[in-house]
A and B are shown apart, each in its own frame.
Chain A
């Protein structure tokens, strides 16, 4: 994950857009927590620059 984040840094895309969460398959609480976290981040960071400028 750290490496993937570095690759994004190199391109200039905020590396908080990607994250790895570890959880059991049935751990609903952890899953919703992670989903909430990433949704919050997406709001904060705005549209992905690749999407925003699609030619």
Chain B
């Protein structure tokens, strides 16, 4: 991909992003393989930040690696582990390493991860982090000090179109836009009718929306997410379709479903692109793109 992520967003093309999860340690061989596999097939590659409160290689170091390899990293930054000083420092550090896309998140709580006794920081939240990014761009930090060299970012956030109740989520969505978000990657969606309703509301704002696509690997996974992951709702007909797949072919069925959804989103111009999350199955992303007719 020759274009930067920001250029891709502004070009009006159907944007595709994917995700890389850093390993829990210094052995980066598999991760490098995933980066090589994906970097030229997508407009942006998200790097998670101690995802699910599990200590991992930092998103800033991995984003730098992606940049060095000619890819377009999207630095994910949560507010769980660092105060505003450290976050600002990491943001300007990211810039000098050539990383200029950031996804601002509040972050999962400490106790869902593997360092349950650690202090949860949350000095800022996603809204304030976005505001801080824009402040750094103006040449100031949140202590009111002048910077020796301002930052520059394409900044975004997430939204959960199927949140229940939806009203507080939409209020927060509007605050994120007010704070400076220019793009959104959504939580995984499966019900296109519901998503269309959300997009009808979202279109009044001048932001780009990339629909979150999480690869289903089994009907059990769909049921698990319905029961346990806030804001994800897999409709019955998709669960049945997964369950009805030939033995040993569930993953293929999942790829087919993901491809079909992405194709519909593109053909019907429902949103501005997709963000593909194939956790643990990064190698299958090219197959999903092929199934969507985007390879």
Do A and B interact directly, with beta carbons closer than 8 Å?
A: no
- Give me the interface of A with B, judged by CB distance under 8 Å: none
- Give me the interface of B with A, judged by CB distance under 8 Å: none
